[in-house]
Amino acid sequence: MSEVNKGVLVTGVIGSDTHIVGNRILSRALEQEGFRVVSLGALTPAAEFVEAAIETNADAILVSSLYGQGELDCDGFRDLCTEAGLSDILLYIGGYLVVGDQPWEEVRIRFRDMGFDRAFPPGTRPSDVTNVLEQDIAARRADAKQGA
């Protein structure tokens, strides 16, 4: 594991979803890359993600959903963050986010419109997430320094 803390992340599986294996694999990969991961596990309400992000001063929230109800479970998620004073927190989501075989680009746009910075399709490799996450956190930190 790297000695450098590249950022604090809150991860979990939202709503009534119990599919935790992929989330655990991703969390482990993130830790190996030097991120501090606060894993909330399965069956996590949206408000718990936000509370954990506040408590840990997180850089990002990574939401998993594999049972196809991500759209319902994440409706208003960005608003919850904004109301809690986390308007600039990075929001990522990934997994089987919708029911049925829908074109991924349409799903991705839908989640971007819901306020997620990035949406990842099923089968995304952990390294694909860690690479862009590191860049996104660095960019947010640079923006914050310029604004200070």
Q: Does 2 reside within a domain?
A: no
What pLDDT does residue 1 have?
44
Residue 61 CB coordination number (10 Å)? 27
**How far is residue 32 from each of residues 38, 44, 55, measured CA to CA in Å?**
14, 24, 23
Q: Does 1 reside within a domain?
A: no
Q: Which domain holds residue 113?
A: 8-147
Residue 7 CB coordination number (10 Å)? 22
Q: Does 13 reside within a domain?
A: yes
Please identify every stretch of the chain with a pLDDT value under 50, giving residue numbers as ranges: 1-2
Q: Does 132 reside within a domain?
A: yes
Question: Which two structure tokens, joined as six digits, stand for 145?
Answer: 């320094």
CA angle 32, 34, 38 (to 5 degrees): 85
pLDDT, one tens digit per residue, over 84-110 is 999 999 999 999 999 999 999 999 999
Domain count, the chain: 1
Q: Does 52 reside within a domain?
A: yes
> For the chain, what is the mean pLDDT?
94
CATH number at residue 51: 3.40.50.280
Q: Does 121 reside within a domain?
A: yes
Element holding 95 (H helix, E strand): strand 90-95
Positions marked catalytic: 17, 19
What is the reported pTM?
Answer: 0.95
